[in-house]
Amino acid sequence: MSQSTSSRSTWSSRWAFILVTIGSAVGLGNIWKFSYLAGASEGSVGVFVVVYLACVVLIGLPLLMAEILIGRRGRSNPVAAMLNTARESGNSSWWALLGWVGIFGALMILSFYSVVSGWMVDYFWQSLVKGVQVGTPEEAKTAFETMMADPLRLSFWHTIFMILTAGVIARGVVGGIETANKIMLPLLFLILVLLTLWGAWVGDMPAALRFMFSLKTEAIKAGVVIDGMGHAFFSLSLGMGAIMAYGSYLDRETNIGHTCVWIAAAGAFIGLLCGAAIFSLTFGYGLEPAAGPGLILQTLPLAFTHMPGGRVFATLFFLLVIFAAWTSSISLLEPFVSWLTERFGIRRAWVAWGTALPVWLLGVAVCLSFNDWSEFRIFDRNLFDMLDHLATRFMMPLSGLAVAIYVGWKLGRIIVTDEIRLKQRAFSLWFNVLRFVVPVGITLVFLYELVLRDGFK
Ligand code: PFF
């Protein structure tokens, strides 16, 4: 299955690669998940933030480099890249399984990621055409629940989002993915800076920063530590073939180590900035930060309703979330599409739309799992929770662990040093962290998730 590499696309520059990878990393995870996870870790938000940042450095950064290394060395889609590198290093072709888990896991995530993104498109549209007007927490809750109870409405916005995603992928690596990121990411950053300043002006930024960074060590609980670790994983798009696929279009000259520092730093910085803007408004309007997954859609609209220029702010905010989600969702579709295109030589556009169709269908089932099919439960979870649970708590950590073992222990120093051209000390530091810290860290998260928190559900 070794692929011909001569006709493969390459990002137009190192910065283009940095941009697309930041685009993949910064998504619903940084905005929606980060704010509600932080908000939910009562009294220990600072611990959550510090653990998250430590994990970005200690687990995320080394794995990011390892995944890019495999993609670039294998010069192919995740399945073939694993196969090519396994053959080159004299390892079993069973390692290709890791690529399979990645490309299918990414599609699984995409099915519900697109549904949640659809909620954001819905709220964006509402803000744009009439403004989200909710005077009380009850009204905000009812507005959200009304949307969730309507399968047609959910499916409609999910469909729009899937079309946006497949449309970019169909246009190719440079013409589609790179161009989309080059347009959306600078806009995203601009809107974010604007909203943070605006949020600081009308909200309560000092309270937000105190909330996010006050370290109460007595509040350290295993759950918060593990949440911070898991979040670092999700927010850097690790373990799902996305980074591997993007790495496969990277030229040989780019220094993987330096590039990854930029990516990890930008991902964490944008996440923190979003958190600061969101909590500044939350506190400024006397609202409750621990609202759970509804923080963005139930708490923030209250602030939008009461603040000066709230409608414009809300429209821009949801546009920002859409850009963030869109640049991530394309990285979830790309691994499978690149595999099918390269393996069978089918035209990319056909493959993109053809792959989007079953993912869309699964997404429609996810929309129904909130209402008409809510009775249908697997291990006491609806389909949405089940897919999220399976992908983010099982598949991501396990394949991250496998990547660390593969690059740290199996690939061999010659290949690894040839790809990661760092100075001796920096290289040893990275390599040892990858071989020891990452596997131990992930194993701890995994055991906790599996055994302590949920039992074997
Ligand atoms: N990093 C994305 C986010 O934070 O929303 C989610 C994601 C994208 C996860 C791509 C995994 C992936 F392969």
Task: Say yes or no: CB of residue 106 within 6 Å of ligand 1.
Answer: yes
- Counting from 1 in the atom list of ligand 1, the atom nearest the Cα of 106 is 13
Residue holding tokens 């060590």? 217
- Closest alpha carbon to 162 in 367, 423, 452: 367
pLDDT, residue 190, reads 95
Whether pLDDT at 1 is above 50: no
Give me ligand 1 centre to Cα 29, in Å: 7
Whether pLDDT at 246 is above 50: yes
Q: What mean pLDDT is predicted for residues 425-439?
A: 96
Sorted by sequence, the CB contacts under 8 Å of residue 372 that are 6+ apart come out as 151
Give me ligand 1 centre to Cα 25, in Å: 6
Q: How many residues does the chain have?
A: 457
In contact, 398 and 185? CB cutoff 8 Å: no
Q: Which protein residue has the closest C-alpha to ligand 1 atom 7? A: 237
3-state SS, residue 275: helix
Other Cβ atoms less than 10 A from the Cβ of 440: the count is 12
Domain 14-366+384-391 matching CATH 3.60.40.10: the answer reads: no
Task: Say yes or no: CB of residue 237 within 6 Å of ligand 1.
Answer: yes
CB contact burial 3-33 (16+ within 10 A = b; e otherwise): beeeeeebbeebebbbbbbbbbbbbbbbbbb
Task: Say yes or no: CB of residue 268 within 6 Å of ligand 1.
Answer: no
pLDDT tens, 419-431?
998 999 999 999 9
Task: Say yes or no: CB of residue 29 within 6 Å of ligand 1.
Answer: yes
pLDDT tens, 68-103?
999 999 999 999 999 999 999 999 999 999 999 999
Dist CA 95 CA 102 (whole Å): 12
pLDDT, residue 177, reads 97
Query: Which is more confidently placed, 213 or 393?
Result: 213
pLDDT, residue 456, reads 39
CA–centroid distance for 347 within its chain: 27
In contact, 170 and 352? CB cutoff 8 Å: yes
Whether pLDDT at 2 is above 80: no
Partner residues linked to 210 by β-bridges: none
pLDDT tens, 110-141?
999 999 999 999 999 999 998 878 888 888 88
Mean pLDDT of the chain: 90
Q: Which protein residue has the closest C-alpha to ligand 1 atom 10? A: 237
Whether pLDDT at 299 is above 90: no
pLDDT tens, 16-45?
999 999 999 999 998 888 887 777 766 677
